[in-house]
């Protein structure tokens, strides 16, 4: 069980992940850390719809969703000012130049690394306008 992490408490999270077991594990991990509202999207079009209709506070993004690159999802998150971390088994060099500065966590990963990265994304010094 993960101790609640203050920065994640009550946050709305988009989990863009096509592996159902991993998506459920991420949801459990984030719920234990205090997140309360989740959208899980296994396809690019579902993730884009979730961004349009439920604006998340932050997101985890797999680069390959059912064989389709999720670069359009990364663009939509960025355009909407939604911080995100790339969590992928793809090599980091496939990330478009626009998103290469984003946090990248390779699969498999340590849960604590993901939680710390998400908290860092919500720190006032890293998110413009957040105080």
Q: Is the pLDDT of residue 125 over 80?
A: no
Q: Is residue 127 part of a domain?
A: no
Q: Is residue 86 part of a domain?
A: yes
Task: State the maximum Cα–Cα separation within the chain, in Å, rounded to a whole number.
Answer: 38
DSSP 49: H
CA distances from 49 to 44, 46, 106, 116 (A): 9, 5, 25, 27
Q: Count structural domains, the chain.
A: 1
Q: Is residue 131 part of a domain?
A: no
Question: What domain range is 72 assigned to?
Answer: 6-121
Q: Is the pLDDT of residue 121 over 70?
A: yes
CA–CA distance, 89 with 125 (Å, rounded to integer): 29
Contact assessment for residue 42 and residue 127, using Cβ atoms and an 8 Å cutoff: no
pLDDT in tens, 29-81: 999 998 989 999 999 999 999 999 999 999 999 999 999 999 999 999 999 99
Q: Which CATH number covers residue 67?
A: 3.40.50.2300
Q: Is residue 59 part of a domain?
A: yes
- pLDDT of 9: 87
- pLDDT of 122: 85
Residue of 7, 14, 37 whose CA lies nearest to 85: 14
pLDDT-derived band at 6, boundaries 50, 70, 90: low
């Amino acid at each position: 069980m993960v101790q609640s992490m203050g920065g994640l408490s009550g946050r709305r999270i988009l989990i863009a992940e096509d592996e159902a077991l991993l998506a459920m594990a991420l949801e459990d991990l984030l719920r234990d850390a205090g997140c309360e509202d989740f959208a899980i999207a296994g396809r690019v079009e579902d993730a884009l719809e979730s961004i349009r209709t439920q604006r998340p506070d932050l997101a985890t993004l797999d680069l390959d969703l059912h064989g389709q690159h999720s670069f359009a999802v990364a663009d939509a998150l960025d355009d909407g000012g939604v911080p995100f971390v790339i969590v992928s088994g793809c090599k980091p060099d496939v990330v478009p130049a626009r998103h290469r500065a984003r946090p990248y966590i390779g699969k498999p990963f340590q849960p604590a690394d993901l939680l710390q990265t998400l908290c860092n994304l919500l720190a006032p010094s890293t998110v413009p306008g957040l105080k």
